[in-house]
Structure 1
Amino acid sequence: MGTRPLLNRRLAGMGTTVFAEMSALATATGSINLGQGFPDTDGPEEVREAAVRALREGRGNQYPPGPGVPELRTAIAEHQQRFHGLAYDPDSEVLVTAGATEAIAATLLALLEPGDEVIAFEPFYDSYAACIAMAGATRVPLTLRAPSFRPDLDELRSLITPRTRLLLINTPHNPTGTVLTSEELAAIAELAVEHDLLVATDEVYEHLVFGAAHHPIAALPGMRGRTVSISSAGKTFSFTGWKVGWVTASPDLVAAVRTAKQYLTYVSAGPFQYAVAEALRLPDTYFDTLRADLLRKRDLLVDGLTAAGFRAFTPEGTYFVTTDITPLGEKDGIEFCRALPGRCGVVAIPNAVFYDDVEAGRSLVRFTFCKKDEVLQEAVARLRRL
């Protein structure tokens, strides 16, 4: 085996994710886990029953079709039309994946080659860096800085080189909660058209937006044929373990992504695909109630964190709050998060792990509010001990 490390060097420094480490710490210490973004209650009972019905009726228990079951692809196309006014052909322009995580991996593995550059907003979700690395491409971060976490569009223009192949957009943005405005998206779209760039857009929090509106970049002039839009059922319907995601794009882009995807999982989540097809057709009241419920939880946590001495940046979307620990006399988020369970029985995630420019995120810590009210209230009471 020689002296070469066992792990592919492209993945050096990408061992166990911080989410796994912090969730294990929560379990070991009996702490309240406000780190990993999974709800502590299941989604709608009728959606869960739809999965049970599919299992019992033998729908999806064997390999589903490679692109996804037709019922779900049709429902995804209907969803894109209903909420965003985007028309997609369910047969040639929709691909079902093992969560948005696989959609991101398949998109980047399909569209990138060694030497390509990808511009992504940092802090970025950790799988972006890993997938860009696995594709042999180079990530070029555009740093979103506190307190506003808005993209500097002049800086974005300056980062584009002849090697730039793809812009990786995430809106609503995890972990900052930024929702890109229609003006920001229009400027990004103009750059993509001007430089003939591909765009991959992660929109898994599309329904978790407070006040501001979510605008898909694929709807803008010149973007339909160059944009891979990615979303999933996990965040919208609170069934994160089902891992049902999707890609919508032009036929040539879907064909490229499908080629990579079929050698990753081939297919997954058969019976759950039928259930998600029903979930996507839930009435507007479901989506409105979800948003109102999370808005209330957001305010509960933001107020509690502020009272505990954190500087909390109120998010426009997602179910995460980014905070600055400097007012508490702290400066290192990673050390702070490792010590927090012992200090007050709460687990959070250090934002530094989402940055290439670690200093930009060193004092920032992320908490999630997709938990029961009583859990959030207890966590807030514990944090006051700080």
Structure 2
Amino acid sequence: MRKQLASRVSTLTPSTTLAITAKAKEMKASGIDIVGLGAGEPDYNTPENILEAAYQSMKDGKTKYTPAGGLPELKDAIIGKLKTDQGLTYERNEILVGVGAKHVLFTLFQVLLDKGDEIIIPSPYWVSYPEQVKLAEGVPVFIEGTAAEQFKVTAAQISEAITEKTKAVIINSPGNPTGMIYTKEELQAIADVCREKDIWIISDEIYEKLVYDGKQHVSIAQLTEDAKARTFIINGVSKSHSMTGWRIGYIAGDASVVGAMTNLASHSTSNPVTTSQYAAIEAYNGPQDAVEVMRTAFESRMNQIYPKLSAIPGFHVLKPQGAFYFLPDVKEALEHTGFASVDEFAKALLTEANVAVIPGSGFGSDTTIRLSYATSIDQLEKGLERIEKFVKDHWKA
């Protein structure tokens, strides 16, 4: 029999996040009391005004095909958001709306990379970056952001990693899974290196609205005209407006690249979901009160839970500055509980203590686990109590 699968998918690693979440949901469906601290989505419903706008669009018969790159009205709403929030000016031909930020990234790599081209990926990283690069026949090049540097990489590290094959560097701020934010000064140093070495910048800003303790999100595209010209901003409504399932994301950047992405989209998705696009128009043009309500709630939960998480034996955790994740280093806990890896630790935590967390191995961080605080404070406290008991029960001197 002929080989059934294409070689391009043979090296793919399944999404650790989705795998753990699926297992937790399966256990929960069977009647087990699971505390889910794995999934990366807000626990709020989509705001009512957005739901109403989507419903009204369907009643008005707006259920047909749209342009492949998104509705002009949605592009205008995105352009307005970028102008208001970042002071950046874009034209419609520099915007593409896709089926979620994940698919926008996938499409970007498909049009940007030739076989062997390299993408620099700071570690810890979002699980899909390297897999998407590999699917485009590119090569992920990892550089490590250590806890001592708040899991952020430096301009010097990026400069050292750049070769003749380097096409771009990814910057994710606020970061998943780290919750850390790059400062304006750090971004400026990175932008200077990218200008000097003439490479693209992919700026994943999906958690832009979720920043805490008075911190400010800065887009690297804001810094200089050169930085804007070489930056692709990736963003969407999933996290900011609790619209993960609506699947609307966008890219803002170089018109020729966005044009190629639009051509590819016309042969793959035809267009983003029409109803979701009308919902996203309302998300950007309508009241933003719900965005701040969610941000405030996440910050409150983070501040309440951080001391309790830090007190668990063998856990060492930095206080997040954004997003809604903790990334504790559990190396000491592993050494004292007898688990050989964070994967084994997370699996046992789910099956024995009924708590779902994500092992850091999926993020390129073999001594950490990721916990989401995008769930109720009651669930968070229950989860931490179970984790602490689990660690203490397994602890060996």
Normalised-by-shorter TM-score class: over 0.9
Within 5 Å, give how 1:1-150 maps onto structure 2: 1=1, 6-30=4-28, 31-59=34-62, 61-89=63-91, 91-147=92-148, 148-150=150-152
Instruction: Give the corresponding residue for 1:215.
Output: 218
Q: CA deviation at 1:284?
A: 5.0
Determine if the alignment matches structure 1 residue 321 to structure 2 residue 311. no
- Answer whether contact 1:113 1:136 (CA < 8 A) is retained: yes
SS at match of 1:169: strand
Instruction: Give the corresponding residue for 2:393.
Output: none
Instruction: Give the corresponding residue for 1:347.
Output: 356
SS at match of 2:327: strand
- The CA distance in 1 between the partners of 2:221 and 2:188, in whole Å, is 10
The aligned amino acid for 2:151 is F
- The CA distance in 1 between the partners of 2:133 and 2:289, in whole Å, is 38
Residues 7 and 311 of structure 1, relative CA distance in 2, 3 Å threshold: farther
SS at match of 2:131: helix
Pick the aligned partner of 2:232 from 228, 231, 251.
228
- The CA distance in 2 between the partners of 1:142 and 1:11, in whole Å, is 24
Residues 302 and 263 of structure 1, relative CA distance in 2, 3 Å threshold: farther
- Answer whether contact 1:346 1:382 (CA < 8 A) is retained: yes
Instruction: Kindly report the root-mean-square deviation, in angstroms, between the aligned alpha carbons of the 2 structures.
Output: 1.8
Residues 297 and 216 of structure 1, relative CA distance in 2, 3 Å threshold: same
> Once superposed, which parts of structure 1, at least 4 consecutive aligned residues long, lie more than 6 Å away?
none
- The CA distance in 1 between the partners of 2:43 and 2:131, in whole Å, is 28
Instruction: Give the corresponding residue for 1:281.
Output: 285
- The CA distance in 2 between the partners of 1:203 and 1:118, in whole Å, is 18
SS at match of 1:225: helix
- The CA distance in 1 between the partners of 2:95 and 2:129, in whole Å, is 21
Within 5 Å, give how 1:190-269 maps onto structure 2: 190-210=192-212, 211-221=214-224, 222-269=226-273
Question: Once the two structures are superposed, what CA deviation does each residue of 1:284-339 show, in whole Å capped at 9, x if it has no partner?
Answer: 54433332111012123323322333222211111111012234324621111111
SS at match of 2:142: strand
- Answer whether contact 2:155 2:193 (CA < 8 A) is retained: no
Q: Extract unaligned runs of 5+ from structure 1.
A: 356-360
Q: CA deviation at 1:255?
A: 0.8
The aligned amino acid for 1:140 is V
Q: CA deviation at 1:78?
A: 0.5
SS at match of 1:313: coil
- The CA distance in 2 between the partners of 1:315 and 1:155, in whole Å, is 23
Q: CA deviation at 1:259?
A: 2.4
The aligned amino acid for 1:8 is A
The aligned amino acid for 1:149 is F
Deviates more, 1:232-241 or 1:264-273: 264-273
- The CA distance in 1 between the partners of 2:134 and 2:267, in whole Å, is 18
The aligned amino acid for 1:184 is E
- The CA distance in 2 between the partners of 1:230 and 1:150, in whole Å, is 19
Q: CA deviation at 1:38?
A: 1.9
- Answer whether contact 1:119 1:142 (CA < 8 A) is retained: yes
SS at match of 2:198: coil
- The CA distance in 1 between the partners of 2:126 and 2:270, in whole Å, is 24
Q: CA deviation at 1:263?
A: 2.7
Pick the aligned partner of 1:363 from 357, 363, 367.
367
- Answer whether contact 1:311 1:323 (CA < 8 A) is retained: yes
- The CA distance in 2 between the partners of 1:103 and 1:86, in whole Å, is 20
TM-score by length of 2: 0.90
- The CA distance in 2 between the partners of 1:351 and 1:15, in whole Å, is 14
Instruction: Give the corresponding residue for 1:358.
Output: none
- The CA distance in 2 between the partners of 1:108 and 1:293, in whole Å, is 35
SS at match of 1:235: coil
Deviates more, 1:186-195 or 1:319-328: 319-328
Q: CA deviation at 1:260?
A: 2.7
User: How many residues are aligned here?
Assistant: 377
- The CA distance in 1 between the partners of 2:230 and 2:154, in whole Å, is 22
- Answer whether contact 2:38 2:356 (CA < 8 A) is retained: yes
Deviates more, 1:212-221 or 1:105-114: 212-221
Instruction: Give the corresponding residue for 2:155.
Output: 153
TM-score by length of 1: 0.92
SS at match of 2:18: helix
- Answer whether contact 2:15 2:362 (CA < 8 A) is retained: no
Question: Once the two structures are superposed, what CA deviation does each residue of 1:115-161 show, in whole Å capped at 9, x if it has no partner?
Answer: 21111111221221111111111111111112421213222111111
- Answer whether contact 1:111 1:257 (CA < 8 A) is retained: no
SS at match of 1:174: coil
